[in-house]
Structure 1
Amino acid sequence: MSLASYIGCNVEIPINDEDDDLVTIGSFFSDEEHRINVQKYQFKTPYVYEVSSDWGIEISEYMNRKTCAESKKELIELCKLMDSYLKNGDFFELYSCWVGEETQRREGELTLQINSFDIDQIKMPEKTLVRFEK
């Protein structure tokens, strides 16, 4: 199984599956059915994409330090990317889960400002819906 991270937003985002980017938007671990399910059960937005590098974005004390540090870098880069697409007052949602678990009940919710959060204070375990507001 693979940990997939999905974003939901109100604007279309171009697919970016370049291998040299820290964060890419495209289809990696999931298929269309998984994205439909995460949209139906987790998001409130019309557009859903999988976001990836080598693994999903998860930040928790149960992860090894290297993977957690990589997730933090990916999250910061994702917020920079999404900030360029969103207008003031808009938002995007992030949800990470194991592929096939998109319909399961979420375990937590969190709302953050896209440009003003302390990455070292965030806990984002799998199955946590995070709303980033601009």
Structure 2
Amino acid sequence: MYLSLLKKYQNVLLLCLLCWQFTEALTSDCCNEGETKEDSNDCTSYFVCCNGAFVSKTCESGNYWNSNSGSCAPNNGQCCPSTGTCIDNELEVDPQNCAAYYQCVKGQFVSQKCASGSYFDTIIKACVIDTECICTS
């Protein structure tokens, strides 16, 4: 008897199960207006909730997303360039410090500093003695 009832209503049960899973999937990405969360792929970006969905935003140049304060903050070395993996010994400019740069070590950019009295020349990508007061801080 129960088996015949189950067969009779199996399509209804299946439809209910599918509707429940679909509804669950829709509500899992919902958010509260103004809610923020970090972008795990880029420390200069974040997501903000707008009309029930997260929208990607980017901090102004020189800033990074500080998830503790929930706002963009000046990047003082907390956020390295987000170019993904890099080639060993590749050099990148540090936009916050004219006497510093990033060097690729084992696929990751690592912050480096020029010797005292030097600056990082962005054209030749090397530290140069600062005889013309190019980098004063």
TM-score category by the smaller chain?
A: under 0.3
Q: Normalization by structure 2: what TM-score?
A: 0.27
* Higher-Rg member (1/2): 2
Query: Which structure has greater helix proportion?
Result: 1
Query: Which structure has greater strand proportion?
Result: 2
**Higher RCO structure, 1 or 2 (CA under 8 Å, sep 6+):** 1
Q: Normalization by structure 1: what TM-score?
A: 0.27
